[in-house]
Amino acid sequence: MKLYRIKILLKRHLMSTTREFHRFIDIIYWPFLEIILWGLTGVWLQGNTEHLSMYTTMLLAALIFWQIFTRAEHEIISSLVDELWSYNLINLFSSPLEITEWIISAMSLGIIKSIFTMVFGIIITWSIYGCNLTLLGTVLFPLFILFIISGWALGFFMSALIIYWSHKIQSFIWALDWTLAAFSTVYYSIEVLPSWAQYIAYALPMTHTFYALRTFIQTGILPVNAIYTSLLLSFFYLILSMYVFINMFSKSKGIGLLRLEQE
């Protein structure tokens, strides 16, 4: 594994982000839109019901962290899909590039863009709603890490499907995001879900992370058990998804990567 090959891949995707307007807009448009829509909903509720400022803060914080999760996930997927769309996949992996180098590059890209998304989200929530999420302090760091790892895990699993079945699986992949949002308790506590759905929710690391976020905002105490549970689940799914991705990549390479660009 060579560090310079990882840096070249990372530089390539970062340059395409800054030079192609639609890629940069993708980083700021969706976080901005959701913060505006759901933030205004929270402000409206706060204006019509007493003692809801805490819930507005929880909603805005959850929105930002969900964007961090999806950004980490999407960068893994986009790094692969971009190569397919540009018919560059064969060129890329016919070079000395190793699959582990591509993985590290995609993960690093997810961290960089997620940091940008987080900073942008905090600025927007403070400037528009006067909600200063930096007051959460050092708690932001472990929560950020947990959502990044969870995003990587889902990103590699989805990429495993793409590397084997190509573009025809993409409709399922983008729909899965919204399905997981329903079970991850982004906007509400787990108690509002039906009993059967709660079993699914508890199996997702994001559920425990959002619970930790809401509990800290409400009580000022970070539930360590929820953090540990989320960490264990996140690493379990990350290791599993990376194994599946590498295995699918090997099988797809054996069949022929050219078919992915032709489908």
User: Residue 251's pLDDT is what?
Assistant: 81
Contacts of 4 (CB under 8 A, 6+ apart): none
Element (H, E) at 136: none
Half-sphere exposure of residue 202: CA atoms within 13 angstroms, side-chain side: 7
Q: How far apart are CA 197 and CA 191, in angstroms?
A: 10
Q: Are 261 and 89 contacting, i.e. CB atoms less than 8 angstroms apart?
A: yes
User: Residue 106's pLDDT is what?
Assistant: 87
Q: Are 174 and 162 contacting, i.e. CB atoms less than 8 angstroms apart?
A: no
Q: Which two tokens stand for residue 111?
A: 């961290």
Q: Which two tokens stand for residue 240?
A: 């599993």
Q: Is 256 exposed, middle or buried (0-12, 13-18, 19+ CB in 10 A)?
A: exposed
The distance between the two most distant Cα atoms of the chain, rounded to a whole number of Å, is: 62
Pick from 117, 32, 25, 109: which is nearest to 68 by CA?
A: 117
Share the mean pLDDT of the chain: 80
Place of tokens 């990587």: 152
User: Residue 48's pLDDT is what?
Assistant: 47
Residue type, 226: A
Over residues 91-118, the pLDDT tens digits come to 777 777 788 888 888 899 889 889 988 9
User: Residue 46's pLDDT is what?
Assistant: 57
User: Residue 44's pLDDT is what?
Assistant: 46
Q: Are 248 and 99 contacting, i.e. CB atoms less than 8 angstroms apart?
A: no
Place of tokens 């997810």: 110
User: Residue 141's pLDDT is what?
Assistant: 94
**DSSP letter for each residue of 48-94:** HSTT-HHHHHHHHHHHHHHHHHHHHHHHHHHHHHHHHHTT-HHHHHH
Q: What is the pLDDT along the chain (263 residues), one digit of tens a residue?
A: 667 566 666 666 666 655 555 555 566 666 666 666 565 555 545 554 555 567 778 888 888 999 899 889 988 888 887 777 777 777 777 777 788 888 888 899 889 889 988 998 899 888 887 888 888 889 999 999 999 999 999 999 998 888 877 766 776 777 777 778 888 888 778 888 888 889 999 999 999 999 999 899 888 899 999 999 999 999 999 999 999 999 988 887 777 665 655 55
Q: Are 226 and 49 contacting, i.e. CB atoms less than 8 angstroms apart?
A: no
Q: How far apart are CA 180 and CA 13, in angstroms?
A: 27
Pick from 24, 13, 28: which is nearest to 108 by CA?
A: 13
